[in-house]
Structure 1
Amino acid sequence: MAAEARRGPYICGLDAAMDVVSGKWKSLILWELHHHGVRRFGELRRGLPGVSEKMLIQHLREMAEDGLVHREVYREVPPRVEYSLTEHGTSLNEALRALGAWGTARRQRLAAETPLNQVAG
């Protein structure tokens, strides 16, 4: 299923991009796969503390449908499934790099504005 089929026609490029990375976990899945390469489901789950199994399954399925993630199933006993970034996923990760830098600067600014008594508490 294509992304537009999920949501309808896009009004601009940013709309189309945000549809693909919507939600907290998709951009973090991209980051995890970029920094650690091929990962199995359990490795992804451990690398993303707080993500539920259901949410990770859903996001990986959507990301595979959108062409961001490749899902490789090995016919072994027990079955092994590995996830990796596609070229399309890698290019999206590169596009998100500037947003990550903005977020890092924001975290630093907020930390500098936080009174010391709130940090220790």
Structure 2
Amino acid sequence: MSDAITHLKVPIDREEREICLGPDGSVAHVNRVLRMISGRWKLPILFRLFAEPTMRTSQLLRDIPNISQKMLTQHLR
């Protein structure tokens, strides 16, 4: 039961906290991922690919309304 308590995993020691919040720490990694998936089309594309990992581009175009071929290609790259 104690494994589910997340507040115990936050570093309390000042040195450990600086490592966690530093340029190579956990916060930096979370920020990097959030910047990668931000945008209008990335989450719908990822959602569809998660549901069906192998699909053609034309199927993605049909499944995601209002996305253009150009935008889909850019986001898939």
Structure 1 stretches of at least 4 aligned residues deviating more than 2 Å after TM superposition = none
Q: d(CA) in 2 for partners of 1:47 and 1:24?
A: 15
The Cα offsets for residues 52-111 of structure 1, whole Å up to 9 and x where unpaired, read as 1111000000xxxxxxxxxxxxxxxxxxxxxxxxxxxxxxxxxxxxxxxxxxxxxxxxxx
Q: Deviation of residue 13 (structure 1)?
A: 2.4
Which structure has the higher relative contact order (CA within 8 Å, separation 6+)? 1
1:56 — aligned with what?
72
Unmatched runs of 5 consecutive residues or more in structure 2: 1-22
Task: State the Cα RMSD in Å.
Answer: 2.0
Matching residue within 11, 17, 28 for 2:33: 17
Separation in structure 2 between the aligned mates of residue 55 and residue 21 of structure 1, nearest angstrom: 14
| Residue aligned with 2:66, SS | coil
Correspondence for 1:95: none
Identity of aligned residues (%): 38
Q: Residue 46 of structure 1: SS of its match in structure 2?
A: helix
Superposition pairs of residues 89-108 of structure 1, within 5 angstroms: none
After TM superposition, the score normalised by the length of structure 2 is: 0.59
Larger radius of gyration: 2
Q: Residues of 2 paired with 1:18 and 1:29: CA distance?
A: 15
Query: Could you say which residue in structure 1 is the equivalent of 2:61?
Result: 45
Higher strand share: 1
- Equivalenced residue count is 53
In 2, Cα distance between the equivalents of 1:19 and 1:47? 24
Write the letter of the residue equivalent to 1:36: E
